[in-house]
Structure formats: C-alpha cells, structure tokens
Amino acid sequence: MQILFYSPDNKPEPWLAGLAQTLPEASVQVWQHGMDTENVVPADYIVAWKPPAAMLAGHPRLKAVFNLGAGVDAILQLADALPPNVPVVRLDDAGMAVQMAEYVTYAILRHFRRFDDYELQARQQQWRFLKPNDKGDFSVGILGLGVLGSRIAEAVQHFGFPLRGWSRSRKDLPGIECFAGGDELEAFLRGTRILVCVLPLTAETTQILNRSTLEKLPKGAYLINVARGAHVAESDFLALIKSDHLAGATLDVFRNEPLPAQHPFWQEPRISITPHISALTLRDNSIGQIAEKIRALEQGKPIAGIVDLSKGY
C-alpha cells in the first residue's frame, strides 16, 4: 500500500511516524514542489492539506484522497484535477468540534458579559458598574448545523441562551429553533443577536455575510466567524460596524492569511482577531481516523465523511 502525504502547514516527520505506526503495511512518501511523476511512486491513498493540482496527477490506482481538516474548499478548487470516481474524504471531527465549541462559547460570553468594556475600563483605571445584558434578548444563531455547528449548539445550551440554527436542509435538534433553506434565512437572521458562522465554503456561501444579509440582523448584533474568511464581504461588514449596526465581531478566519499588516480589521477596536486557531487538527486523532478508514476501504466496507462534490461538503 502506497500513501502520498502533503501538508504545507505541518512538519511531515511526526505525521510519517504516526502513519507508520498505525499502518505498518503502508509505505509513505512526502510530496514536494518540483517533483515530477517520475519521482513519485503511484499512490493508493493521498493524505493532504491544500494539495497542489500537480500532486493529484499520475495515480492510476488511487482509491481515496483524505483531506486533513473539516473544511474541504481548498481541495474542491482542484475538482477538475481530481481523478474521476475517487472519493474525497474529510475528517469527521478528530477533536476539532470540542475546540470550536470552547472558542465560540468564550466569544459569546465575552461579548454578553461585556468583558471587552471592562477590559477597556481597567486600562483607564476606571472602577465602574456596567448594566448587564438580558440573556432573553441575546439569541444565538448558528449558521450551519453540521458536526461542528451541532457541537457548538450543545455547548451553548448549557448557558441558557435562546438558540436558533440555520442549515441548507431541514434539521430537528432539541432545544434549537431550526430554520432551513433560502426562504427561511431572513427570518433566522432577524431574530439573531449573536451570529455564529460555521458554514462550509461553497459557491453559494461565498460572501453570504454581505450588506443584504447582515442588515437583517437586529441593530447591535455581533458576529463570530470560525468558518472561512471568504464568507464575509469585508467592505460591507466594516461599514455596518462603523455605522453601529453591528456591535462588533470575533474573527478567527480571513480571506487572506496571515491577515496583512495594513488590513483595516487591525484598526477597528470592535473586531477581536485570532490567527485561525479556533479548532486545530489533532495529529494523533486524525491519523487514527484515517488509518481506520483506509482499512475499511481495503476491506470493501463503507466509511463516513465522503464529500458530496456537487454540494461542496
């Protein structure tokens, strides 16, 4: 069994060691820029994050491409380079859902409890009581109710916020007022005070957070984006913060990463910025999941996490 590995964001050695331990029957090769097909042993499986199109060529016996993350938008941009009838498999969770639930819960509570305001007061040596917010007026709306969105909702439920959720297809989740499809998006937004975006990035969701949609949120709404930066129409979003329609935002993802030094987001104090760390891929969990799925495929068994290329997730 031959595995071809590539990840520009990770040192390959720990991944190779983990794959060798869990799949001792496999031979693993690291793909590097500049390699031509003569230097690459044809792979049975590709394990990659943001692979170049050249990596996907020359594998006549390829059985699956494993994406090292939950978001598959980068690999789907190479759809024309993917060998036909070869499944793309995403990580189901691998420890990311809990991390993302922690991050979003923190961002919600920080805004709701006015900790940003208290931090500013502390810097100015002010000791002043601020009127607390009413939780009944702080409905949390989760845009995207897949594995990650559902886990976030489960975490937030413990704090008693009114919960709403929107998804492309109808979901029925306990304790959540669920909306579905384009016809119900406006109603979902109009009742949402804190909007959490966990959508996959597709042609339909690119720049979904634009002036038209964000203006439907009530005045003083707050945005938390842990999905992809391309969901946000940046100039629309900034204008709505400057006009005070939006109270602020916590952003972990950006159209260009790292966020350029001159980007206006850095200059807006009502935007909290983190460097794409809301949910990191846990290596051991990921390797274990990939190995289990490869063994299942070798035995002709079905696996979870196969991406529907027509939907983009």
Q: Which of 114, 211, 255, 276 is catalytic?
A: 276
Compute the half-sphere exposure of residue 213: CA atoms within 13 Å on the CB side of its CA.
21
Catalytic residue status for 245: no
Whole-number Å distance between alpha carbons of 308 and 89: 9
Whole-number Å distance between alpha carbons of 1 and 231: 39
Query: For the stretch 256-293, what's the b/e string if a residue is b when 16 or more beta carbons lie within 10 angstroms of its beta carbon?
Result: eeebeeeeebeebeebbeeebebbebbbeebbebbbeb
Catalytic residue status for 228: yes
**Dihedral Cα 88, 12, 101, 264, nearest 10 deg:** -100
Q: Which of 228, 270, 283, 295 is catalytic?
A: 228
What phi and psi values does residue 88 have, to the nearest 5 degrees? -100, 130
Number of H helices, E strands in the chain: 9, 12
The DSSP code for 184 is: G
List, by residue number, the catalytic residues. 228, 276
